[in-house]
Structure 1
């Protein structure tokens, strides 16, 4: 099993050691910098391979590590470009973000093209992907998590009882200490606000007066921050699968459990119609009961290295796309039958690695923790999470005791440098919000929250669908057409829109 969650999964909890005094005020941006002309060239080999057959160009843009000290240390951001296919129709740039925080976006334009991004969009925009600060090819950061680290996922493990919360607190503390011990002075500057400032530096480096933006999952938080900090420079903004604010916080983490409750019924209906093939139950209620039965049994006796916690996380991740339902059904079936060979094959549990090897998720987890811990303060008392786990185990029995559990931010060594970015409802009506009604990691409530905060600046497109990702990544013609019209023609819906299932 790939233990790190998919793009947009996870959250963390912040306890600052020695927190005191007021938060510093950092300007949205210093005076317009004299940025160098971007020099496009060949992308790194891994990006070339990931983007193939689409050919991209790449470049680096220097930005301040600390915007409170703009003349101080600079870091490099790597950006990619898929140039507008029809220069006569070109209207500007469309910046892209896949979410995370911690997801690489250099090849995202190629992925969207492969998924069917309309040519009316690719004709008119230079698609600008990037590795945001700290990620991949953009002056990467590392906590040095080893391959066998007990901290392996940005969602904490399901806590079956109070003792499990206490055990996870020790893991979380060790992970925070690992980050502090490996920090070269950059971790505290990896925040949503600073990344939004980076977007504006990239815009300036590209010679554009404004930029349009398409962000998924956590990318909605970044896009909301940019539209709030730089409303006069934000052109057409599309925020897809919204987390509900400009940052991830404890309430947002706990909403993942709500998303699981809202999304599993779609899989349960699918599996019930295929009972003769998979044997998971003849009704959705019976399929749900099978989930609880399997999880409870694995809590007591893991199968092929899969315990109840990993099983719940595996199920959560497979609800992101309906195309993953068959494999999820096969995995459940193998677990019900006790078929260890099939479980091992389907869940792809990694074997042991060489001593001293870093986790393949080290960079992603490091950026995830840095952003979530630095953006906002989190409760410090372990008992707060113990109570939350008990509440959500009852309220959201499928996954609540995981998403309410404690993570390394409870022991993070740095206080936030500034307050979280506040949504600015004053500005142009240019924010289009897209949200599936049933999404495991970003439930519909997140879209409604951001719609309320943006006020008349935004319109919400709600889709009668399941899964994570709407525009191009989903399969709803109404949402696709509505978003394409906005990006191409600037036609914002006159009111919030409901898109029926195709």
Structure 2
């Protein structure tokens, strides 16, 4: 969920969208209703044919519907089978910080084909993301690298630098972010989703929702059960309303341990074409090798291909977390390990996501949602204790998942209480979950499944990685999702797919 996932941190628009105004005010005639969207063509090179875009005005603060408004970027692919049309299917991305416009641009054509033209496929950029109204905290560049946004403790376990950075970021957001940054939350995203439903003229909306988007989709189903159609929750996190994002971050330690054996097996016996990236003779030798290299880089960072940006142990650990999201990322991480371990070789080439700071607006929305959704412990001493425990229990994540974040110093308390999931409501939810997910591990998804009761069925997939449904892949889990979306066929009981 990706709390600060690779995808969320690198979100960029893949489609040209008209520049939208920052903050406007609602005319009185529109305050009581939601006007229909004004669609315009917006096809882009490499994108799907027939793509359209529009802007959706939403209240900055739903308690003041006549007050300032933000504008959300919306895009759609119309159903190409109008005689079989079943409504609208939202494609909800992960994050916080993921772009629904980008998701539709990349996956919309395949999704439309696999749903056989039954839906208008719609994506939107949540407030603060992509081509929607944005805001920035004014976070300094050095605090916006992925490995600084992720709060890795010092090599000796100290969190003093993490605490100072977290305080700086929180103070910058309080000083510069204003009401727009304070409005970035799951509760407001869900309200925006229902406003989008009304603007689309739909009584119900269905959704394929992944990672953080799956949590937002589940909250929508809880808040608006009468307006929820078929809902696929793909790789979803623990819904505990007392912790929410705090728990998602903590669970990543377990997720890394669930997933690492897949990389270890690959690194001990790489497939043809990658034999030069073998790291060890046996899988059980890979983890000690990676941990020893990280410890060495803690002591003596290695100059990378980026001037002034040496490869540290924390950066290597962060590169590992990113690589665990998909098997296709294994070769690049193995190459980084081999290059970093060779003292006579060329400077190791850092992954692109580690080589430059995250844009201020992207970092700001990610942090703001985490801090606006739920309260976090406020004392540095609390995090010193939890980091020490986590470092001992979970060496692959070295205490990062239990460490202090800007939310410990956040000025404003959450405006909305997190939603408690309950089994009341229509039985229209399918959860799909991999057994070895580095971001939203199986244990958290099982708690979401239990909380939803008979509202949901769950299909587990015997693969590692994050995000289980891929249109056109035609695995067992993919077919189960498509039978549900296309025909409403949901397994009578929870099921398991090996592929």
| Same fold per superposition (TM over 0.5) | yes
In 2 relative to 1, CA 488–154 (structure 1 residues): closer, same or farther, beyond 3 Å?
farther
Partner of 1:403: 401
1:68 partner SS: coil
CA-CA distance at 1:8 after TM superposition = 5.8
CA-CA distance at 1:155 after TM superposition = 2.3
1:298 partner SS: helix
Partner of 2:193: 199
In 2 relative to 1, CA 133–85 (structure 1 residues): closer, same or farther, beyond 3 Å?
same
Matched, 1:233 2:245: no
CA-CA distance at 1:85 after TM superposition = 1.5
Partner of 2:361: 363
- The one of 206, 214, 217 equivalent to 1:212 is 206
CA-CA distance at 1:336 after TM superposition = 1.5
CA-CA distance at 1:248 after TM superposition = 3.6
Greater relative CO (CA pairs within 8 A, separation 6+):
1
2:376 partner SS: coil
TM-score by length of 1: 0.87
CA-CA distance at 1:180 after TM superposition = 1.2
Q: Is the 8 A contact 2:430 2:456 kept in 1?
A: yes
CA-CA distance at 1:473 after TM superposition = 6.7
Partner of 1:59: 54
- The one of 221, 224, 227 equivalent to 2:218 is 224
CA-CA distance at 1:345 after TM superposition = 5.7
CA-CA distance at 1:210 after TM superposition = 0.4
CA distance in 1, matches of 2:351, 2:218: 38
Deviations 1:220-267 (A, max 9, x none): 110011000000000000110111227743222111011111111001
Structure 1 range deviating more: 472-481 or 237-246:
472-481
CA-CA distance at 1:323 after TM superposition = 1.0
- The one of 312, 317, 334 equivalent to 2:317 is 312
Partner of 1:188: 182
CA-CA distance at 1:279 after TM superposition = 4.2
Partner of 1:168: 162
CA-CA distance at 1:362 after TM superposition = 1.6
CA distance in 2, matches of 1:88, 1:119: 15
Deviations 1:148-170 (A, max 9, x none): 3366454222443342x111100
Q: Is the 8 A contact 1:93 1:212 kept in 2?
A: yes
In 2 relative to 1, CA 364–277 (structure 1 residues): closer, same or farther, beyond 3 Å?
same
Q: Is the 8 A contact 2:237 2:248 kept in 1?
A: yes
Partner of 1:258: 254
Structure 1 range deviating more: 151-160 or 137-146:
151-160
1:487 partner SS: helix
Partner of 2:7: 7
- The one of 152, 161, 178 equivalent to 1:157 is 152
TM-score by length of 2: 0.88
Partner of 2:124: 130
Deviations 1:106-164 (A, max 9, x none): 021231246x436241501111111111212211111122433366454222443342x
Matched, 1:337 2:342: yes
Structure 1 range deviating more: 308-317 or 139-148:
139-148
Q: Is the 8 A contact 2:144 2:358 kept in 1?
A: no
Q: Is the 8 A contact 2:95 2:366 kept in 1?
A: yes
2:420 partner SS: coil
CA distance in 2, matches of 1:113, 1:185: 33
In 2 relative to 1, CA 118–207 (structure 1 residues): closer, same or farther, beyond 3 Å?
closer
Partner of 1:448: 446
Q: Is the 8 A contact 1:142 1:366 kept in 2?
A: yes
Give unpaired runs (5+ residues) of structure 1: 11-30, 352-358
Q: Is the 8 A contact 2:421 2:452 kept in 1?
A: yes
Give unpaired runs (5+ residues) of structure 2: 11-29, 305-309
CA-CA distance at 1:429 after TM superposition = 0.5
Q: Is the 8 A contact 1:8 1:217 kept in 2?
A: no
Deviations 1:315-337 (A, max 9, x none): 11011110111111111111121
CA distance in 1, matches of 2:183, 2:350: 41
Q: Is the 8 A contact 1:151 1:172 kept in 2?
A: no
- The one of 246, 249, 265 equivalent to 1:269 is 265
Partner of 1:34: 33
Q: Is the 8 A contact 1:221 1:242 kept in 2?
A: yes
CA distance in 2, matches of 1:270, 1:124: 40
